[in-house]
Structure 1
Amino acid sequence: MRDELVGRFADFGTKTAIFDQDTAFTYQELLDRIRYTRDVLRRHGVAPHDVVVVHGNYSLDSIATVLALFLGRNVVVPLVTLGERDLDTVVEHCRPRFLVRTGAGLVVEELDTPAPAPAAASTTSASAGMIDRLSGADAAGLVLLSSGSTGAPKVILHNLDTLVGEKLEKRPRRRASSLSILMVLMFDHIGGINSLLSTLVAGGTAVLPHQRVPEEICGLIERHRIRVLPTSPTFLNLIIMGGFHQRFDLSSLRLITYGTEPMSDELLKRVNRNFPGVRLLQTFGTSETGIATTTSESSDSTYFKISDTGVEHRIVDGELQLRSRVQFLGYMNYADDSLTEDRWFRTGDLVEETDDGYLRIRGRAKEVINVGGEKLLPLELESVLLASPLIEDCVVYGKPNAITGQTVCVSVKPRGELTRAAARKHVLEFLADKVEPFKIPSKISVVDSVEMSDRLKKVRSQPRDVGA
């Protein structure tokens, strides 16, 4: 497999592998940088199966470092942001020996990893056992962190050989692709890793943005005549709200793939109106089971099928469960309570399924708002609100209530010059004859923008109540 990957890069030769700012790097230059990086790592004492943290965003050096560590059968922990909480979690549960910084050149630091605290000894032993199994299989590993919005992130361990091998199998050796793909999704997220590997094993060009903001992304689409844009519903709405699709020439786009969060029916209508002639495809995946191949019912439908032969799915009590060939090995710091006894992964996504097998994501189980026994999923109310010509964006969430258990709250970004009082009045009047009384928000905040996470998803856990 490693020989196959290196052989492909050599065959692609002078074709552009990476475009970073104003610099194009060929596959041969990427291969040369991988070999150089492997030499640097060896000189610093990095040995096969060592755990190595890679701190950096998309760049020639960061990509070459991850691939060099894959070739060296190491366990790779990519981190775009080296926050204290995330680093402490990785150190405690992964016991990394080295930290590689790729922001300005290549800097390799040996880490002084303290002995585990007695309270964490059993978890650390289980983590070491998972890494030992990787070593025994002579395989490389990949560690991803969950968003950790409600506490310490989950440490997710993958067999990197399995992930790369799946990509090589799905995209067999053939004439190099001419596609340029924007690396919009995070470098340390399963979606970003998937985009990067899919592009490089097929001989495409990975175009690297330095700021994941609509102006830069749309500017790169125009400059590089990008045909495929992988992104999220929230980011697409940002492009539309700012009019960036009109300020830049996006006529090269043929396909927009969207994932990381559910798409509301109303927002999908808005995207179709503003991107006529562009095919829309809903993607689906999790950090634990990888990104599945999907087929949308149509560009104007939020229903899709999982059409991946390597992924099984089933629905239990309304929740989607998955089992895949590239499934994670386990959590290194949590009990595997998300796995059933027969190794199905509980996604936490509530779905409905049509008779012909199409799925529609209704929302996350943990986001259900329970008002005195009546239940609401935020996406439902957001879709209704987005139908208003006076609302550009909104986020619905629940808050504790002493009487009803929870109450419905919404933050709205109005269109135009509406005052805050007028915006609140409009929300109440607009919803009055469209939803049941318990779904009417008890708190309406007017905001300048709806908060978005690094993973391009709406933030629901603690939305900003600016102007409440």
Structure 2
Amino acid sequence: MDKIFLVYNDTVYTYEQLLMDLNSKDAGYSYLYVKDNHPYEVFLGIIHSLIFDYPLEILDGDFSKKEISELGVDTNLLTTKVLKHERLQFRNMDEVMRRIYKIEQWMLTLYTSGTTGRPKKMGHTFDTLTRNVKVHAKFEHCVWAFAYNPTHMAGIQVFFQAFLNQNPLIYMFGKSMSNIKILMEMYQITHISATATFYRNILPYLQGTTYPIMERVTFGGEKFDLLLEEKIKNAFPNSKITNVYASTEAGSLFAAKGDVFEISPEYKQLVKITAQRELCIHRTLLGKTHSLENEWFQTGDFVETIDETHFKFQSRQSDMINVGGYKVNPIEVENLLMQVPGIIDVVVKSKKNSVTGEMLVADVIKYEELDEKELKKEIKQFATTHLQAWKVPRIIKFVDELLITRTGKKVRK
């Protein structure tokens, strides 16, 4: 049987098909952009641009014409063949891999999610995108769940980790949570990387089931949740659990077991934490940005310093909520409320208030069998007991699902 490259919407794409498509794609012509919701087309475009060494920009498939125009992209170029290149015929994927590692000038441009304003453009080389990718014969058996947006940094990094080891990718991003269990069992998934939101959403469907075949579970994109880690350990008892810090601007930089990140010796002079506790990274760790005016990039992430080489992520600057002059970290409130039995997930956000400027609202997903009135009373009582008054949500709403961004993170605005 041909080795699987990607499973998407019940369609199986093999590495043999990928090889044929790379050899025949556009008969020696190339595009400057990929704008597609279909992950196979995104991945095919990336690999094609890499082996023929031409620059490529990736746009979200659901970007509107207005958004594309605001990014300064000529919409006519999205469907125009603009580059002619020599055609090459690869006999197998090993030849493709050897070609990839010879490429030196290639550039891939991504856009940030735009959750705090207009998406920003960031170019990356093969080296910055694969900084923490591990390629070895011992990874040949891995089967990867794909739980990120394929046009954003986290998704691109999972793609390269799987592709460079010629592993299968089983697409799960944006899919019904009830199908995840079926896919995991059908394809015997061994590795998964996703946001905490994704894990919380799949756990109710994994109740009473364990997956000893799962080898590694990686958290990324959102603050690590120690309570969630314990539940993940129950579902995947043999897995190693890793917490990764990454950004569109820099790619993956730090990894941790638990919520304490370590600054490795090679990065010690390239990372600093300001007096305001904001994490900054040196421009040499970034992709090819054209907008940075000084040596240090301000990540907008606030951290708690443990010692000179260790820190904990606390919050995004853009997520902080001003309640009557008090700065509230919504992640702190969410983590507290998640301790209330019966809550599957919760998002804390702000609502305009004439007295305090903003007040806190909690959208809660609960187990169906629980009474809303009783659970709301328990949440209020628990929050009042454990939080300062200005951190207690004034409005609690029960919802069927939480809104997420294009990258799968909670929407707090």
| TM-score of the alignment, normalized to the shorter chain, above 0.5 | yes
* Contact residue 182 and residue 207 of structure 1 kept, 8 A: yes
Deviations 1:364-402 (A, max 9, x none): 112222223322211111111111113222111223333
1:449 aligns with 2:401: yes
Q: Please report how far the alpha carbon of residue 418 of structure 1 lies from its aligned counterpart in structure 2 after TM superposition.
A: 4.2
- The correspondence of residues 243-258 of structure 1 with structure 2, limited to 5 A, is 243-246=205-208, 250-258=211-219
Contact (CA 8 Å) 1:55, 1:82: kept in 2 or not? Answer: no
> Do residues 305 (structure 1) and 258 (structure 2) align?
no
CA distance in 1, matches of 2:130, 2:260: 29
Of residues 288, 294, 317, the one that matches 1:341 is: 294
CA offset at residue 315 of structure 1?
1.1
Is the contact between residue 192 and residue 218 of structure 2 (CA under 8 Å) also seen in structure 1?
A: yes
Q: Name the SS of the counterpart of 1:64 in structure 2.
A: helix
Counterpart residue number, 1:179: 142
Instruction: Please state how far the C-alpha of 1:326 moved relative to its aligned partner.
Output: 5.5
* Residue identity opposite 2:212 in structure 1: S
In structure 2, the residue matched to 1:105 is: none
Q: What does the per-residue CA deviation read over 1:170-211, in whole Å, with 9 as the maximum and x for residues that have no partner? A: 546767722121222111010111111122223323333475
**Partner residue of 1:403?**
355
- Give SS of 1:330's match: coil
Q: Which amino acid aligns with 1:68?
A: H
Matching of residues 110-125 of structure 1 within 5 Å: none
* Residue 233 of structure 1: how far off its partner (Å): 0.5
Q: How far apart are the structure 1 equivalents of 2:173 and 2:222? A: 23
Name which of 122, 129, 139 aligns with 2:105: 139
- Choose from 67, 72, 75 the match for 1:86: 67
For 1:125, the equivalent position in structure 2 comes to none
Identity of aligned residues (%): 21
Which one-letter code corresponds to 1:75 in the other structure?
Answer: L
Aligned residue for 1:425?
A: 377
**Structure 1 position 284 matched with structure 2 position 245:** yes
Contact 1:74 1:141 in 2 (8 A): yes
Q: Secondary structure at the match of 1:222?
A: helix
Distance of aligned partners of 1:224 and 1:76 in 2 relative to their CA distance in 1, 3 Å threshold:
same
With normalisation by structure 1, the TM-score equals 0.73
The one-letter code of the counterpart of 2:251 is G
Aligned twin of 2:32: 51
Q: Which runs of 5+ in 1 are unaligned?
A: 1-13, 100-107, 112-136, 462-468
Give the letter for the 2:313 counterpart: I
Question: How far apart, CA to CA, are the structure 1 residues paired with 2:42 and 2:338?
Answer: 39
Residue number in structure 1 paired with 2:367? 415
Q: 1:371 to 1:357 in 2, by over 3 A?
A: same
Q: Distance in 2 between the 1:197 and 1:322 partners?
A: 24
**Deviation larger for 320-329 or 198-207:** 320-329
Query: Please, which of 182, 189, 208 is the counterpart of residue 171 of structure 2?
Result: 208
SS of aligned partner of 2:35: strand
User: Are residues 406 and 18 of structure 1, via their aligned partners in 2, closer, same or farther at CA, if it must alter by over 3 Å?
Assistant: closer
CA distance 1:209–1:441, change in 2 (3 Å): closer
Q: 1:308 to 1:84 in 2, by over 3 A?
A: farther
Q: Shift in Å at residue 24 of structure 1? A: 4.9
Distance 2:163 2:389 in 1: 52
Supply the distance in 2 between the matched residues of 1:279 and 1:265 (Cα, whole angstroms): 14
8 Å Cα contact 1:239-1:245 kept in structure 2: no
Alignment partner, residue 67 of structure 1:
47
Unpaired runs of at least 5, structure 2: 83-102
Instruction: Choose which of 157, 160, 181 in structure 2 pairs with 1:197.
Output: 160
Partner of 2:114: 148
Aligned in 2, Cα 1:166/1:409: closer, same or farther, shift over 3 Å? closer
1:459 matched to 2:411? The reply is: yes
Q: Which amino acid aligns with 1:84?
A: K
Contact persistence 1:382–1:394 (CA under 8 A): yes
RMSD, matched Cα: 3.1
Letter in 2 for 1:329: K
Task: Give the length in aligned residue pairs.
Answer: 388
Closer/same/farther in 2, CA of residues 229 and 159 from structure 1, 3 Å limit? closer
DSSP-derived class of the 2:386 partner: coil
Alignment CA distance shift 1:308-1:275 (3 Å): farther
What is the distance in 1 between the residues matched to 2:5 and 2:400? 39
Whole-Å separation in 1 of the counterparts to 2:391 and 2:165: 48
Q: What residue in structure 2 maps to residue 116 of structure 1?
A: none
Distance 2:141 2:284 in 1: 28
The equivalent of 2:57 in structure 1 is 76
Distance in 2 (alpha carbons) for counterparts of 1:244 and 1:179: 21
| Alignment partner of 1:323 is 2:282 | yes
| Cα displacement string for residues 418-451 of structure 1 (whole angstroms, at most 9, x for unaligned residues) | 4443333222212222111222222222223322
> For residue 114 of structure 1, what is the aligned residue in structure 2?
none
